Structure 1
Amino acid sequence: MDNASQTAKTSEDSSQSKATLIKGSAWMTAGSIFSRILGAVYVIPWNNWFGSLLTAQLANSLFGKGYNIYSLFLIISTAGIPGAISKQIAHYNAINEYAVGNKLFKQGLKIMAITGLITAAIMYFGAPFLAIVLSGGDQKVVPILRALSWALLIIPIMSIVRGYFQGYAQMAPSAISQFIEQVARVIYILAATYFIMKIQHGSYISAVAQSTFAAFIGALFGLGILVWYFLRQLPHLRKLSQNSSNVVAVDEQNFFLEIWSQALPFIILDSGIVLFQIFDQSTFSYMMNSFHHFSEDTLSSLYALFGFNTNKIIMIVVSLSTALAITAVPLLSAAYSRKDWRNVSDQIGNTLQLFFLVMLPSALGMYAVARPLYILFYRYDQLGIYILQFNSIIAILLALFTVLSAILQGLYQNGLAIKYFIIGFIVKIVVQYPCVYAFKTFGPLMATGIGMSVTSLLMLRLLCFKFGFEIRQTLRRTMGILLLSILMLLVVIAVDYAGYQFIAPNNRILSVVLLVIEVIIGILIYGYCVLKVRIAEKIVGPRVALWRQKLHIK
């Protein structure tokens, strides 16, 4: 093959890879965002069916405490193995060793089944102990943990099946199963809660237990979709396996020893935000009671404001921004493998700039619309609105930590990423008590912000000194994005202030109308500004120029 033909083939392969990456990212982002939105919207009727505001807050607190512990167990039970299986299958498929990839997949299924069974058993039978250690001794969490433990039997298996499809660069099955899983879960939550609270007039604890058991129901449907996809493609998969080269022999035992040795970084970094939240729920009541004497129900209600209510909303924004930014990480890993340090620096800057282009207006926009947004989800509560505003700012730091962790993992800096996370976590532990003393319910969020800031600064410092990341351009563009976001913030806050001169805060319907108006105004202002000054064009690329030209923005 001559040089021209070789160059053309390389260019074609590169274009196909980039197209596959974009398509896959679109599927995964869409699946993640729709699932997050659906997982937040159900809260509106769910809270209403509990009757009083206090009962709804207690239910939210209980739900949040149980889910934080469950999330940690879920991360431990999968331990990054689905991602590793995905990478290995993609590798063996690329060299026509489909049969080897299938062997690894079968071994992975066995391991996931075992870890799922073990973690489910620990969570079910150890629920009373976990409630004491990780939930401040709240024994009402015990039935919640036991209801959630059933999902651990299925979700690790479901995760590795998703990894199998991703190894074949098929993101649609994963995204669709994720969405179907959430739909089934939400339907069961709403049906069970309505039956218990409205028909049986039962206990809110029973309703929350059934709402968390919905994770198992959703997982069944999600796995069912994946099995359906698998059976449809089974003839094709068998044909690929039969036509394998069968040159490579893999030692499955050694492979999985290597996988398990890499599991710790995945567990620690993936559970970073969850560990911060678990520390909050295990210490909040004790710390608050050392300064003020509140009843148990009051403390649970206060915890719900930041530990469930506002957290449920801000995680939509966090998942959106990180999903968009982390799509650049594979390109970063490829540049690192080639030792193309200039490209590494450029990719770090592109990833962070894309992140801030989306995250800053999203977070500040949420700050601006906090009042009607909180009223839509949870009814009027001035303290809850203030906490949502504050948590919107903290969300920037949570998302930044997630993106920087992903970048460091892409650069094979797992050890330092863990070290910096631990330092930030220790800082949070140290400042938590004085923060709760000074800021009361805002204290845990303030401590999280300080801890995440320390971790993020250390990570950024590493990128600058070890990988030659030129941060000045990113800082200039980020400051530009921040100024445009603040302009949007001020306008929307003015609209919100004017609107509530004529609307009663407890009027939910008119609050929703005002929310829609504010969101539209915010999008138009920020969209026009980033196109006008061409900052989006510089970050995203020339495609944005087409939008600017179509809208006749010069």
Structure 2
Amino acid sequence: MREDEQVTASSTNDAKAKMLSGSAWMTAGSITSRILGAIYIIPWTTWLGAYSTQANALYAQGYNIYSMALTIATAGIPSAISKLVAHYNGIDEYEVSRRLYRSGMYVSMAMGIVCATVMLFGANLLNNGDANVTPVIQSLAWAVLVIPPMSITRGFLQGYNWMAPSALSQFIEQLFRVVYMLAATYFIMKLQPTHWVQAVTQSTFAAFIGALGAILVLGAAYLRRLGYMRRLAAVGKQDQSVQTRKLIFKIIYQSIPFIVIEAGIAIFQLIDQYSFKRILTLMGGFSNYEINTIYALFAFNANKLYMIVISLASAMAATAIPLMAMARAQNDQQSMRDQIENGLLLFYFVMIPASLGMAAVAQQVYTVFYRYDAAGVTILEFASFMAIPLGLYTVGAAMMQGLSENKKMMKFLAIGIGLKLILQVPLVMFLKGMGPLLATGIAMSVINYLILHSFNMEFTLRFNRMAKPTNQILAYSLIMFAAVKIAMLGMNLIVDPHGRYMAFFALLPGMAIGIAVFGYLALRYRLVDEIMGPGRAAGFRRKLRITAA
């Protein structure tokens, strides 16, 4: 092998290792926080009793507005900071990176104050005609006030490719939030059983408590690495031409597209929130209680569960942005192409089996969390498949941002939003609760096609090289889905599928079968070699005593 080929291979392997390592940390933090954010539902809905479905609908409406406000409050700055820090670090201007962080703090704190003020005093204008939503929106304003500086610190550390503090802070944030909301709900519903709106309000206020826990973790991580960052700044380039005012302008310029792009899923959810009730009301034949019940099934119940799967994609997206930005800063065309291909394959390897696995055990999962409901199970099963285009959007949009293709990405998103608006009314009319999910899935699929087409036009992706592992992932995922589905149908003949405890005990072997089947096939036929490298794959095979084909 020639010396230049060895350097290229080494660079590719290093990039793949960084993406795997970063994704592993972010996935661990994201998935554990998402699982915590789902597990709380079991006692929460139990304590709310007969009010649980209406509480879920109220919670979802408040949180959709909160998600959009938070995206605006942070102004896309964490992702912009991550990208710009990686860019300046890639050209040895570490001092500029540190000044960038301080400038970002000023901007984000100002945005947090503005957005929190709007939520506190404008809640009546945002409540969609439901007075119960007003205190929920106001309770979430406090989180919007403190989360921006927390998110900036996350983005700064990710720019150095330090993913562990971000992962740990995500877990602590969720832990603090869940403990507070469960304690508050328990005491409120025990002392005043009819005050379910107050219980929901305290549950949403828990986002502020969680943010405080995350700030402690990130602050400690920043201080622990401060000396190292100072040493890097001392030996790096000392470019004083980049002024603070210019840095703030650059942050705002870079972050504006991030606001729109990162809010993509939130925008689609807000379209559902403000259109679903109106469409069913115009159709007639539905009471307000029935509309809220249907809305809760897809906007909260299913959403809470399939977002666990999408969180895997979010973790990969957080890793992709700084790596892509560093390659772009160094004008390394080969590295950018390799990272796009590696990122796509890693996404397929994680998301496709996870989504199909969720669909296979949808009945058991839904029953454990919410009690058995045939309509809820059907919507969750359908939503599990829709999680794939949503997840691919998250990763693809992150890569586009890392490559500074923000204008193009905003154009793609605008096309998707337009398609969503066109499809929303007819699909809701014909499919009710599944209509919004299908409209979102179709619109996201079109956006994903445009993203992949753009990548291929610029980098000439090697789809021939990607075809075999992609087909393997699809085939093994379908085999796994069939095996788990058959096992679950068999379990339903033995135990009562409608009981929460029996559903839980049926779920455990179902998950084990899914992991065993996909894991065995991936190792036996060398799929893992392509994703993680032959060294790691061989180590797994030795430990599990699997012979490669």
TM value normalised by structure 2:
0.91
Residue in 2 that maps onto 1:129: 125
Residue in 1 that maps onto 2:49: 51
* Alignment equivalent of 1:269, drawn from 261, 265, 269: 261
Q: Do the aligned residues in 2 keep the contact of 1:325 with 1:355 (CA within 8 Å)?
A: no
* Counterparts of 1:302 and 1:105, CA distance in 2: 44
How far does residue 466 in structure 1 lie from its aligned partner after superposition? 3.4
Distance 1:520 1:262, change over 3 A: same
Residue in 1 that maps onto 2:547: 552
Q: Do the aligned residues in 2 keep the contact of 1:322 with 1:355 (CA within 8 Å)?
A: no
* Alignment equivalent of 2:304, drawn from 305, 312, 316: 312
Q: Do the aligned residues in 1 keep the contact of 2:93 with 2:233 (CA within 8 Å)?
A: yes
Unaligned runs of 5+ in 1: none
* Counterparts of 1:73 and 1:45, CA distance in 2: 28
Distance 1:84 1:442, change over 3 A: closer
Distance 1:479 1:302, change over 3 A: same
| 1:140 matched to 2:132 | yes
| 1:71 matched to 2:64 | no
How far does residue 86 in structure 1 lie from its aligned partner after superposition? 4.1
For structure 1, which segment, 495-504 or 101-110, has the greater mean C-alpha deviation from structure 2 after superposition?
101-110
Residue in 2 that maps onto 1:83: 79
Residue in 2 that maps onto 1:60: 56
* Counterparts of 1:12 and 1:475, CA distance in 2: 23
* Counterparts of 1:488 and 1:381, CA distance in 2: 25
For structure 1, which segment, 468-477 or 298-307, has the greater mean C-alpha deviation from structure 2 after superposition?
468-477
What is the one-letter code of the residue matched to 2:399? Answer: I
| 1:26 matched to 2:21 | no
* Counterparts of 2:446 and 2:162, CA distance in 1: 38
Higher relative contact order (CA 8 A, sep 6+): 2
Q: Do the aligned residues in 2 keep the contact of 1:305 with 1:384 (CA within 8 Å)?
A: yes
Residue in 1 that maps onto 2:34: 36
Q: Deviations over 1:66-99 (max 9, x none)?
A: 1111011111111222333345555666777665
Residue in 1 that maps onto 2:283: 291
The 5 A counterparts of 1:498-517 are 498-517=490-509
Q: Do the aligned residues in 1 keep the contact of 2:26 with 2:319 (CA within 8 Å)?
A: no
How far does residue 47 in structure 1 lie from its aligned partner after superposition? 0.8
How far does residue 170 in structure 1 lie from its aligned partner after superposition? 3.5
Unaligned runs of 5+ in 2: none
Q: Deviations over 1:430-451 (max 9, x none)?
A: 0111111111111111111111
Q: Do the aligned residues in 1 keep the contact of 2:327 with 2:333 (CA within 8 Å)?
A: yes
* Alignment equivalent of 1:348, drawn from 325, 340, 365: 340
How far does residue 257 in structure 1 lie from its aligned partner after superposition? 1.3
Q: Do the aligned residues in 2 keep the contact of 1:365 with 1:522 (CA within 8 Å)?
A: yes
What is the one-letter code of the residue matched to 1:61? Answer: A
What is the one-letter code of the residue matched to 1:386? Answer: T
How far does residue 380 in structure 1 lie from its aligned partner after superposition? 0.6
Residue in 2 that maps onto 1:120: 116
SS of the residue corresponding to residue 293 of structure 1 reads coil
* Counterparts of 2:99 and 2:530, CA distance in 1: 46
How far does residue 325 in structure 1 lie from its aligned partner after superposition? 6.6
| 1:357 matched to 2:349 | yes
| 1:461 matched to 2:457 | no
Distance 1:459 1:7, change over 3 A: closer
* Counterparts of 1:129 and 1:77, CA distance in 2: 18
* Counterparts of 2:164 and 2:458, CA distance in 1: 37
Distance 1:234 1:450, change over 3 A: closer
* Alignment equivalent of 1:166, drawn from 158, 161, 172: 158
* Counterparts of 1:194 and 1:524, CA distance in 2: 39
What is the one-letter code of the residue matched to 1:544? Answer: A
Residue in 2 that maps onto 1:396: 388
How far does residue 235 in structure 1 lie from its aligned partner after superposition? 6.4
How far does residue 273 in structure 1 lie from its aligned partner after superposition? 0.7
Q: Deviations over 1:310-355 (max 9, x none)?
A: 1111111111144247645555455555555555444333222221
| 1:323 matched to 2:315 | yes
* Alignment equivalent of 1:432, drawn from 424, 433, 444: 424
* Alignment equivalent of 1:416, drawn from 408, 425, 439: 408
* Counterparts of 1:221 and 1:236, CA distance in 2: 24
Q: Do the aligned residues in 2 keep the contact of 1:325 with 1:352 (CA within 8 Å)?
A: no
For structure 1, which segment, 477-486 or 58-67, has the greater mean C-alpha deviation from structure 2 after superposition?
477-486
Residue in 2 that maps onto 1:149: 141
TM value normalised by structure 1:
0.90
Distance 1:92 1:217, change over 3 A: same
How far does residue 481 in structure 1 lie from its aligned partner after superposition? 1.9
SS of the residue corresponding to residue 433 of structure 2 reads helix
* Counterparts of 2:235 and 2:400, CA distance in 1: 38
What is the one-letter code of the residue matched to 2:53? Answer: Q
How far does residue 192 in structure 1 lie from its aligned partner after superposition? 0.4
SS of the residue corresponding to residue 404 of structure 2 reads coil
Q: Deviations over 1:499-537 (max 9, x none)?
A: 112322332111111100111111111111222222232
* Alignment equivalent of 1:540, drawn from 520, 532, 535: 532
* Counterparts of 1:96 and 1:463, CA distance in 2: 28
SS of the residue corresponding to residue 128 of structure 1 reads helix
For structure 1, which segment, 451-460 or 236-245, has the greater mean C-alpha deviation from structure 2 after superposition?
236-245
Q: What value does the CA root-mean-square deviation take over the aligned residues?
A: 3.0
SS of the residue corresponding to residue 545 of structure 1 reads helix
* Counterparts of 1:330 and 1:221, CA distance in 2: 25
What is the one-letter code of the residue matched to 2:499? Answer: N
Distance 1:87 1:263, change over 3 A: closer
Q: Do the aligned residues in 2 keep the contact of 1:85 with 1:160 (CA within 8 Å)?
A: yes
Residue in 2 that maps onto 1:531: 523
What is the one-letter code of the residue matched to 2:104? Answer: G
Q: Do the aligned residues in 1 keep the contact of 2:313 with 2:392 (CA within 8 Å)?
A: no
Q: Do the aligned residues in 1 keep the contact of 2:32 with 2:171 (CA within 8 Å)?
A: yes
How far does residue 463 in structure 1 lie from its aligned partner after superposition? 2.2
How far does residue 480 in structure 1 lie from its aligned partner after superposition? 3.0
For structure 1, which segment, 461-470 or 199-208, has the greater mean C-alpha deviation from structure 2 after superposition?
461-470
* Counterparts of 1:234 and 1:331, CA distance in 2: 22
* Counterparts of 2:16 and 2:441, CA distance in 1: 36
* Counterparts of 2:488 and 2:100, CA distance in 1: 56
What is the one-letter code of the residue matched to 2:68? Answer: L
* Counterparts of 2:6 and 2:460, CA distance in 1: 32
* Counterparts of 1:241 and 1:344, CA distance in 2: 26
For structure 1, which segment, 137-146 or 39-48, has the greater mean C-alpha deviation from structure 2 after superposition?
137-146
Q: Do the aligned residues in 1 keep the contact of 2:20 with 2:532 (CA within 8 Å)?
A: no
Q: Do the aligned residues in 2 keep the contact of 1:325 with 1:354 (CA within 8 Å)?
A: no
Distance 1:238 1:320, change over 3 A: closer
* Counterparts of 2:475 and 2:9, CA distance in 1: 40
Q: Percent identity?
A: 44
SS of the residue corresponding to residue 494 of structure 2 reads coil
